[in-house]
Structure 1
Amino acid sequence: MTFDVDPDFLTDEFLAAPLRLTVDLQALADNWRDMARRSGSARTAAVVKADAYGLGIEDAGATLYRAGARDFFVAVPSEGATLRGYAPEARIFVLSGLWPGVEHLFFEHDLVPVIASEEQLAFWMSVVAERGDHPCALHVDTGFNRLGLLIDDALALADDVSRPASFSPVLVLSHLACGDDPTSPMNAQQLQAFRQVAEAFEGIESSLAASAGTFLGPDFHFDLTRPGIAVYGGEAVHGVANPMRPVVKAEARILQVREARAGETVSYGATHVLTRDSRLAIASVGYADGYLRNLSGAGVPLRGTGIAGAYGFIAGHLVPIVGRVTMDLTIFDVTDLPANAVSAGDYVELFGANLPVDEVARSAGTIGYEMLTGLGLRYERHYIDSID
Structure 2
Amino acid sequence: MTDSAQREAPRADAELAAVPTSATGVIIVDLAQIRANWRALVGRVAPAECAAVVKADAYGLGAAHVIPALVKEGCRTFFVATIAEAAQARGLAPEATIYVLDGLLPGTGSELLAIGAIPALASFEEVKEWATLAAARGARLPTVLHLDTGLSRLGLTGSDMNVIATEGRARSLDVRLIMSHLGCADNPEHDMNALQRENFDAMRGCMAHVPASLVASDGLMLGVDYHYDLVRPGYALYGGQAFQGGPAPVAPVLIVKARVLQVRHVQPGDQVGYSATWRPNRPTRLAIVAAGYDDGVARALSRGTGEDGAHVMFEGKLAPIVGRVSMDLITVDVTKLKHPPVRGDFVDLIGPGLPIETVGAAAGTIGYEVLTRLGRRFHRIYRGG
Query: TM-score, structure 2 length as denominator?
Result: 0.93
> 1 CA distance for matches of 2:56 and 2:272?
35
Structure 2 partner of 1:308: 308
Indicate yes or no: 2:150 matched with 1:143. yes
Listed one character per residue, the Cα deviations across residues 303-348 of structure 1 (whole Å, up to 9, x for unaligned) are xxxx932110112210100111111100111111124x31111111
Deviates most, 220-229 or 193-202: 193-202
Task: Out of 370-379 and 122-131, give the one that drifted further.
Answer: 122-131
TM-superposition CA deviations, 1:19-49 (whole Å, max 9, x none): 2100000110111111111112111100000
Indicate how the Cα distance of structure 1 residues 72 and 15 shifts in structure 2: closer, same or farther if over 3 A, else same. farther
Partner amino acid for 1:53? Y
Larger displacement relative to structure 2 (22-31 or 147-156): 147-156
Distance 1:239 1:260, change over 3 A: farther
Q: Would the alpha carbon gap of residues 95 and 24 (structure 1) be closer, same or farther in structure 2, given more than 3 Å must change?
A: same
Provide the residue aligned with 1:328 in structure 2. 328
Conserved in 2, the CA contact under 8 Å of 1:99 and 1:123? no
Aligned length: 378
2:283 is equivalent to residue 277 of structure 1: yes
CA deviations 1:328-369 (Å, max 9, x no partner) are 100111111124x31111111111222111111001110000
In the aligned structure 1, how far is the partner of 2:225 from the partner of 2:21?
Answer: 48
Query: Within 2, Cα distance between the matches of 1:350 and 1:70?
Result: 34
Question: Any idea what SS the aligned residue of 2:360 has?
Answer: helix
Distance 2:76 2:123 in 1: 26
Residue segments in structure 1 that go unaligned for 5+ positions in a row: 301-306
**Alpha-carbon distance between aligned partners in 1 of 2:33 and 2:315, rounded to the nearest angstrom:** 24
2:26 is the counterpart of 1:27: no
From 102, 107, 110, the counterpart of 2:113: 107
Q: How far, CA to CA, are the matches of 1:294 and 1:239 in structure 2?
A: 28
Q: For residues 50-61 of structure 1, what are the structure 2 equivalents within 5 Å?
A: 50-61=56-67
Query: CA separation in 2, counterparts of 1:51 and 1:97?
Result: 18
Alignment of 1:253-292 (within 5 A): 253-292=259-298
Q: Deviations over 1:275-318 (max 9, x none)?
A: 11111011111112221111115589xxxxxx932110112210
Query: 2:277 & 2:95 partners in 1: Cα distance?
Result: 56
Distance in structure 1 (CA, Å) of the matches to 2:67 and 2:266: 47
1:168 aligns with 2:174: yes
Greater shift in the superposed pair: 373-382 or 218-227: 373-382
Question: Could you give the per-residue CA deviations for residues 85-122 of structure 1, whole angstroms, max 9, x where no partner exists?
Answer: 22121100000011234323312221011001112111
Q: Secondary structure at the match of 2:308?
A: coil
Q: Distance in 2 between matches of 1:151 and 1:333?
A: 57
Q: 49, 52, 70: which one pairs with 1:43?
A: 49
The structure-2 alpha-carbon separation of the partners of 1:279 and 1:239, relative to structure 1 and needing over 3 Å to count, comes to farther
Task: Find 1:63's aligned residue among 69, 83, 88.
Answer: 69
Counterpart CA distance in 1 for 2:297 and 2:189 is: 32
- What SS class does the counterpart of residue 250 from structure 1 fall into? strand
Which runs of structure 2 are paired with 1:7-18 in the superposition (5 Å)? 13-14=19-20, 16-18=22-24
Could you say which structure has the higher helix fraction?
Answer: 2
Distance 1:299 1:10, change over 3 A: closer
How big is each residue's C-alpha offset from its partner over 1:168-226, in whole Å with a ceiling of 9 and x where there is no partner?
11000000000000000010100101112333212211000101110000000000000
**Amino acid aligned to 1:21:** I
Q: Which residue of 2 aligns with 1:371?
A: 370
Residue of structure 2 equivalent to 1:156:
163
2:173 and 2:81 mapped to 1: Cα distance? 22
TM-score by length of 1: 0.92
C-alpha distance in structure 1 between counterparts of 2:248 and 2:208, whole Å: 36
- Work out which of the residue numbers 226, 231, 243 in structure 1 matches 2:232: 226
2-structure distance, mates of 1:242, 1:363: 22
Kept in 2: contact 1:176–1:187 (CA 8 A): yes
Amino acid at match of 1:232: Y
Aligned to 1:352: 351
Distance, in Å, in 2 between the alignment partners of 1:11 and 1:102 is 47
Q: Which has the larger displacement, 171-180 or 228-237?
A: 228-237
Equivalent position amino acid for 2:152 in 1: N
**Amino acid in the other structure paired with 1:138:** L
Question: Is residue 303–residue 363 contact of structure 2 (8 Å, CA) maintained in 1?
Answer: no
Q: Distance in 1 between matches of 2:338 and 2:248?
A: 32
Pick which of 96-105 and 374-383 moved more. 96-105
CA contact (8 A) 2:83 2:112 kept: yes
1:130 Cα deviation after fit = 1.7
> Aligned ranges for residues 196-275 of structure 1 at < 5 Å?
196-238=202-244, 240-241=246-247, 243-275=249-281
Structure 2 CA distance for aligned equivalents of residues 227 and 183 of structure 1 = 20
